[in-house]
């Protein structure tokens, strides 16, 4: 078991994958392994990336089965790094029909307003994605 790089207490489940910064005004990324709570806070606090990459494992006792959800892009603000999504299918986490705000740099590249796309991953990966702009 790996311990969270931030709090040093909990099991590290969220792994931030470092990529080169967008420009030289930003500090170089350092890969980190964080617990669920620190990981969500950390991802929300990061400056805008070309593409923010992370992975998250299954929580202890959780069924090791990936989940899939579909979203439609309602708004997209690349400079402000914010996108409003409508959840269109999927039975994990926030309910179908809900609108959520996420970091635009976590979306698959090349999306436009009105596009439908799906995300599959561990339940925690979807939770981190859906809360990337706040709970």
The answer to whether 70 contacts Zn ion (rule: CB under 5 A) is no
Indicate the Cα dihedral angle 131, 45, 55, 36, nearest 10°: -70
**From 6-14, 43-51, 84-92, 110-118, span contacting Zn ion (CB under 5 A):** 6-14
Angle of helix 36-45 relative to helix 123-130, nearest 10 degrees?
40
Q: Give the count of residues interacting with Zn ion (CB under 5 A).
A: 6
Nearer to Zn ion, 35 or 107 (CB): 35
The answer to whether 7 contacts Zn ion (rule: CB under 5 A) is yes
The answer to whether 124 contacts Zn ion (rule: CB under 5 A) is no
The answer to whether 126 contacts Zn ion (rule: CB under 5 A) is no
- Indicate the SS3 state at residue 104: helix
Closest separation in Å from C-beta 58 to Zn ion: 17
What φ, ψ does residue 119 adopt, rounded to 5°?
-125, 130
Segment 35 to 54, residues that bind Zn ion, using CB under 5 A? 35, 38
Contacts of 39 (CB under 8 A, 6+ apart): 4, 12, 13, 14, 16, 54, 56, 128
Closest separation in Å from C-beta 105 to Zn ion: 22
Per CB under 5 A, residues contacting Zn ion are 4, 6-7, 10, 35, 38
């Amino acid at each position: 078991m790996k311990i969270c790089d931030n709090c040093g207490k909990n099991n590290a489940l969220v792994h931030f994958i470092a990529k080169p910064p967008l420009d030289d005004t930003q500090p170089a990324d350092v890969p980190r392994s964080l617990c669920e709570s620190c990981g969500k806070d950390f991802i929300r606090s990061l400056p805008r990336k070309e593409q923010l990459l992370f992975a998250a494992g299954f929580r202890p006792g959780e069924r090791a089965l990936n989940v899939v959800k579909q979203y439609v892009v309602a708004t997209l603000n690349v400079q402000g790094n914010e996108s409003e999504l409508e959840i269109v299918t999927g039975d994990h986490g926030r309910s179908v029909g809900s609108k959520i705000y996420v970091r635009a740099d976590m979306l698959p590249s090349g999306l436009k307003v009105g596009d439908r796309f799906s995300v599959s991953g561990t339940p925690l990966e979807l939770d981190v994605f859906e809360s990337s702009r706040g709970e």
